[in-house]
């Protein structure tokens, strides 16, 4: 059972790893990048989510530390 699962995962990995090479196997066409492409592309949303997550974790840590300090007294 374990051997067949390993073989299935190995086969899947090899297939997924070969997809990029198969897609460029034809003739190579050099294309110019699009003009005026936005650099941001959702990066600001990702940064805002990271800041929100970090502040939530910091708040929870302070709250847990405060509760543990009160339990010790």
Euclidean distance between CA atoms 40 and 45, whole angstroms: 9
Euclidean distance between CA atoms 69 and 73, whole angstroms: 7
Please tell me the predicted confidence (pLDDT) of residue 54.
95
Please tell me the predicted confidence (pLDDT) of residue 9.
83
Instruction: Please indicate, yes or no, whether the overall pTM of this predicted structure exceeds 0.95.
Output: no
pLDDT (tens digit per residue) in 17-46: 777 766 665 556 677 776 766 666 677 888
Domain boundaries, the chain: 47-73
Retrieve residue 41's tokens.
């592309």
């Amino acid at each position: 059972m374990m051997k067949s699962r390993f073989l299935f995962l190995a086969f899947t990995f090899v297939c997924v790893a070969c997809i990029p090479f198969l897609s460029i196997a034809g003739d190579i066409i050099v294309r110019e990048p699009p003009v005026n492409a936005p650099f941001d592309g959702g990066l600001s949303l990702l940064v805002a989510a990271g800041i929100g997550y970090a502040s939530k974790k910091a708040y929870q840590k302070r709250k847990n530390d405060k509760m543990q300090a009160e339990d010790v007294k």
